[in-house]
Amino acid sequence: MLGLLLPALRVSLVTWVLCGIAYPLSVTGLGQLLLPYQANGSLVRSPNGTILGSRLIGQEWRGPQWFHGRPSATTASDPDAPGKTVAAPYNAAASGGSNLGPTSRTLAGRLVAERRAAEAAEPGLAGKLLPADMLTASASGLDPDISPAFAALQAPRVAAARGAPVGWVAALVIRHTQGRTFGIFGEPRVNVLELNLDLLASQPPRRGS
Amino acid sequence: MTMQSWLQVGVTLAVIFLLSIPVGRYLAAIVTERKTWLDPVFDPIDAAIYRLIGQGAASQPMNWKAYTCHMLATNLFMAILIYLILVFQDYLPLNPLKLPGMAPMLAFNTAVSFITNTDWQGYGGETTLSNFSQMAAITFPMFTSATTGFVVAMAFIRAFIVTDGGANLGNFYRDLVRFTTRVLLPLSLVLAIFMIWQGAPQTLAASVVAHPIQGGEQTIAIGPVASLETIKHLGTNGGGFFNANAAHPFENPTPLSNWLLIGLMALLPSALVVCFGRMIGKPRQGWVLYGVMSALLLLILPVTIAAEQDGTPMLAKAGIELQATAGQPGGNMEGKEVRFGITQSGLFGVITTSFTTGSVNSMHDSFTPLGAVPEFIGMMLQNVFGGKGVGFLAALVYGLIAVFLAGRMVGRTPEFLGKTIEQPEIIMVSLALLIHPLVILAPSAWSMIEPYGLASLSNAAMHGYSEVLYAFSSAAANNGSAFAGLNADTPWYNLALGLVILIGRYPPIIFMMAVAGSVAAKPTLATTIGTLRTDTIKFGAFWLGTILVIGALTFFPALVLGPIAEAFAMHHGYSY
């Protein structure tokens, strides 16, 4: 019996040290040494060093002057009722999707409500087909990207709110559009945080010039 | 499916196929202890580890019973170690968020889940686990559970080639160490750096507080993600660092990282089939099995992608563009990420269930009903390549039954690789086959009757039932993915799923090892003109047919009640 248990115990401990401790710590050391920007979360900082967010993690944007991301289904624990959760879009401390299925009445209601809200903000959208990512919640609730079509749709609103030419905003969108990897993999996309930061940093050309 | 979609899928599958050949040869070299150019590096490391385990234990020949017992004892110790770390993580280092120890029932479920390569998660990673637990209790068994499945399959294959009557099917410790140090560790180390380059964090910090332009704070969970992510896919494990698993932009930042993760999931299970052909000295037999598994995969894969691209009536009613255009993906994007779109999400979903990884890059609970059917099939059959080693054994279960049926049909003694397959083997194989549907269907039915089972559903009607069926299929297949709306952190689901995971894992392995012992004791018959050949396309087709007929007879009624009924209801405009 001891001949069975002793080596089993020893091999458990040896592989534990090797795979559970030495391996992740070596990767941490190498990552911090070789690729510190990514290893620490691809953080975006303001000129004075404040962390504005991560380029990989979406944020909630309000108001017509910014490009908005997709609906987010993340939640946070309810401060008033322990054990319950409340909606908390883009909660990067607790990721997740809606997990609502294709015959869920809750999902149907949410889609209708989002459609109405979109049309209330932009009456021009009434009756139009909307991009597939515009009303649907992402899987992580933290999707940093939107489709180029969704971005293009928002350009006139953003331009009007900022008093900038639509063409200039649309050009910014195109500059921030990433194509498929090697032209094959994934989908074209626009990183919302980077686009909005560029919107903040660049000066629009004067009207009429 | 669009042309773009076919291109993404075609290139991915072609690369996996091409890589599986050299990797399969390398695996065979490691298992049969032929020399490789890496020996000067690894020999001293392995020798040091053998000394720590005990020279005698690491060199003794093991028959099927000894091999199985050493495997079980090792898994038991590892599970206890994981359980203790989880329960006492508040007393252990690297817990800056001061997370409490895990509740015992959930810790039992988690320890069992990770030691069996299932990686079912009844918790959200970033809100439950300290960084120490993520490394020492989660990343650790991602190596050893993959290794366990792999080495058991190797011992099984040796039963067909040994000439000593089965006294030596290899040494469990030697196999375990060699597969860990020569395959999993070096590959993980290199590819983890690649994952960091793509954007996966790797730090001992647990969170970063950001101050967005519009005010407020955003707390961003972070940690040693890249090291976990790499072995999670290479070892077909699937447990995520974050609740959103590989849909989280930190776990899977780009289409390129997504592509790598798909490749990693598929690499070793497909290479193992090539390795099998080389070990038995009959590469043709390996390719026949490879063909059977590929045929199954190609049969189900387009269904998911096409169904997700078609979308749902509900989305159409909300005025959403369902056609893919140059500027947007179209289709059902609820629970999917923009960077992956429909194709990379569907491809990932089918690969993760076929190769029984269980990682997800999109929320399967929000898939269209028909889009989810291939995922059910992958977990129910278990041998659309399947997980590390275990998928291979599941394929051989069906293969031995096919041999038996074909032999009976033409009136010849059933034979596989020169060994006669008789009553004792067929009894063992049938037991291994029947456990799987039993532990899926019985507890699913139970959960649908009892209030404590029904209380966890987050969707109504057929879709709610699908959540439960998916959970038990995932547990029994040691997959680990979920229709994640189901609240599985309840006493019933923690216990029931934990037990299903255990029963789905160990008894089939024990039965198949008993078959190995029985087969190894038989003389090897020479191939004659009277032998029913199993390395032909004709037998491959029969093998495939056996899988489809037995699989359909077993699981089709359960699928009809869930996703198939839901598909009809959905197209008639019903919602619940």
Contacts of B55 (CB under 8 A, 6+ apart): none
**pLDDT exceeds cutoff 60 at A207:** no
Q: Does B95 touch chain A (CB under 8 A)?
A: no
Chain A's closest residue to B460, CA to CA, is A104
Q: How confident is the model at residue B538 (pLDDT cuts 50, 70, 90)?
A: very high
Tokens representing residue B95 in the block: 């817990």
Q: Which residue of B328, B368, B375 is the best one to mutate when testing the A interface, meaning the one whose CB has the most A CBs within 10 A?
A: B328
CB contact under 8 A, B126 and A93: yes
Chain A's closest residue to B260, CA to CA, is A185
User: How far is B383 from B300, CA to CA, in rounded Å?
Assistant: 13
CB contact under 8 A, B126 and A30: no
Residues 127-186 of B with CB under 8 A from A: 127, 135-137, 139-140, 142-144, 173, 176-177, 180-181, 184-185
Provide the CA B475 distance to its chain's centre, in angstroms: 10
Distance from CA of A198 to the nearest CA of B (A): 12
CB contact under 8 A, B341 and A186: yes
**pLDDT exceeds cutoff 60 at B4:** yes
Q: What tens digit of pLDDT does each residue of B337-348 get?
A: 999 999 999 999
Q: What tens digit of pLDDT does each residue of B300-326 get?
A: 999 999 999 999 999 999 999 999 999
Alpha-helical segments (H) within B311-460 = 313-317, 341-354, 369-381, 390-410, 423-449, 451-454
Please name the helix (run of DSSP H) or strand (run of DSSP E) that holds residue B153, with its range, or none. Answer: helix B140-158
Mean pLDDT, residues B65-93 taken together: 97
Mean pLDDT, residues B330-357 taken together: 96
Q: Which domain holds residue B176?
A: 3-208+219-281
CB contact under 8 A, B139 and A51: no
Q: Which residues of B touch A142 (CB under 8 A)?
A: 244, 248-249
CB contact under 8 A, A132 and B311: yes
Tokens representing residue B367 in the block: 């898939």
3-state class of A92 per DSSP? coil
Chain B's closest residue to A69, CA to CA, is B338
Please report whether residue B251 resides in a domain.
Answer: yes
User: How far is B473 from B298, CA to CA, in rounded Å?
Assistant: 21
Tokens representing residue B355 in the block: 């190769």
Q: Which residues of A touch B329 (CB under 8 A)?
A: 132-133, 147, 187
Q: What tens digit of pLDDT does each residue of A6-27 get?
A: 999 999 999 999 999 999 999 9
DSSP tally for chain B: helices H, then strands E:
22, 4
Q: What is the pLDDT of residue A8?
A: 97
* Residue appearing with tokens 């008639």: B572
Q: How confident is the model at residue B228 (pLDDT cuts 50, 70, 90)?
A: very high
Q: Using alpha carbons, select from B369, B334, B309, B367 the residue that is nearest to residue B9.
A: B309
Tokens representing residue B364 in the block: 């399967």
Please report whether residue B456 resides in a domain.
Answer: no
Q: Using alpha carbons, select from B257, B500, B238, B262 the residue that is nearest to residue B357.
A: B238
- Picking from B124, B212, B335, the nearest residue to A94 by CB comes out as B124
CA distances from A35 to A27, A31, A32 (A): 11, 5, 6
Distance from CA of A207 to the nearest CA of B (A): 26
Q: What tens digit of pLDDT does each residue of A39-56 get?
A: 999 999 999 999 999 999
**pLDDT exceeds cutoff 70 at B65:** yes
Q: Are A97 and B332 in contact (CB under 8 A)?
A: no
What does the DSSP assignment read for B486-539? S---SHHHHHHHHHHHHHHHHHHHHHHHHHHHHHHTSPPPPP-TTS--SSSHHH
Q: What is the ipTM of this complex?
A: 0.96
Mean pLDDT, residues B148-152 taken together: 96
Provide the residue count of chain B. Answer: 576
The mean pLDDT of chain B is 95
**pLDDT exceeds cutoff 60 at B358:** yes
**pLDDT exceeds cutoff 50 at A94:** yes
Residues 105-144 of A with CB under 8 A from B: 105, 107-108, 111-112, 114-115, 127-144
Q: Does B429 touch chain A (CB under 8 A)?
A: no
User: How far is B32 from B223, CA to CA, in rounded Å?
Assistant: 39
Please report whether residue B450 resides in a domain.
Answer: no
User: How far is B369 from B463, CA to CA, in rounded Å?
Assistant: 8
Please report whether residue B320 resides in a domain.
Answer: no
User: How far is A55 from A196, CA to CA, in rounded Å?
Assistant: 11
Q: Does B466 touch chain A (CB under 8 A)?
A: yes
Q: Using alpha carbons, select from B85, B64, B103 the residue that is nearest to residue B495.
A: B103
Neighbours of A108 (CB within 10 A): 20
**pLDDT exceeds cutoff 90 at A79:** no
3-state class of A178 per DSSP? strand
Beta bridge partners of B220: B208
CA distances from B186 to A26, A27, B170 (A): 12, 11, 23
User: How far is A107 from B417, CA to CA, in rounded Å?
Assistant: 54
CB contact under 8 A, A142 and B360: no
**pLDDT exceeds cutoff 50 at A74:** yes
Please report whether residue B569 resides in a domain.
Answer: no
CB contact under 8 A, B176 and A21: no
Burial class of residue B283, CB neighbours in 10 A (0-12, 13-18, 19+): middle
**pLDDT exceeds cutoff 80 at A92:** yes
Q: Does A98 touch chain B (CB under 8 A)?
A: yes
Contacts of B483 (CB under 8 A, 6+ apart): A99, A101, B364, B365, B372, B459, B466, B467, B470, B471
**pLDDT exceeds cutoff 60 at B86:** yes
Q: What tens digit of pLDDT does each residue of B261-300 get?
A: 999 999 999 999 999 999 999 999 999 999 999 999 999 9
Beta bridge partners of A178: A189
CB contact under 8 A, B576 and A187: no
Q: What is the pLDDT of residue B294?
A: 97
Please name the helix (run of DSSP H) or strand (run of DSSP E) that holds residue B207, with its range, or none. Answer: strand B207-210
Residues 170-189 of A with CB under 8 A from B: 180-181, 184-189
Burial class of residue B98, CB neighbours in 10 A (0-12, 13-18, 19+): exposed
How many beta-carbon pairs below 8 A join chains A and B? 402
Burial class of residue B405, CB neighbours in 10 A (0-12, 13-18, 19+): middle
Q: Does A17 touch chain B (CB under 8 A)?
A: no
- Picking from A8, A21, A34, the nearest residue to B70 by CB comes out as A8
Q: What is the pTM of this model?
A: 0.96
Strand extents, DSSP E, chain A: 43-45, 51-54, 75-77, 85-87, 145-146, 177-178, 189-191
Q: Does A76 touch chain B (CB under 8 A)?
A: no
Q: What is the pLDDT of residue A124?
A: 87
Q: What tens digit of pLDDT does each residue of B457-493 get?
A: 999 999 999 999 999 999 999 999 999 999 999 999 9
Q: Which residue of A14, A16, A19 is the best one to mutate when testing the B interface, meaning the one whose CB has the most B CBs within 10 A?
A: A19
Q: Are B474 and B443 in contact (CB under 8 A)?
A: no
Tokens representing residue A167 in the block: 């063409």
Distance from CA of A130 to the nearest CA of B (A): 5
Q: Are B273 and B293 in contact (CB under 8 A)?
A: yes
Distance from CA of B524 to the nearest CA of A (A): 31
Q: What is the pLDDT of residue B214?
A: 93
**pLDDT exceeds cutoff 80 at B377:** yes
**pLDDT exceeds cutoff 80 at A209:** no
Please report whether residue B270 resides in a domain.
Answer: yes
Total domains in the fold of chain B: 1
Residues A61-100, buried b or exposed e (16+ Cβ, 10 A)? beeebbbbbbbbbbbeeeeeeeeeeeebbbbbbbbbbbbb
Please report whether residue B542 resides in a domain.
Answer: no
CB contact under 8 A, A95 and B144: no
Please report whether residue B316 resides in a domain.
Answer: no
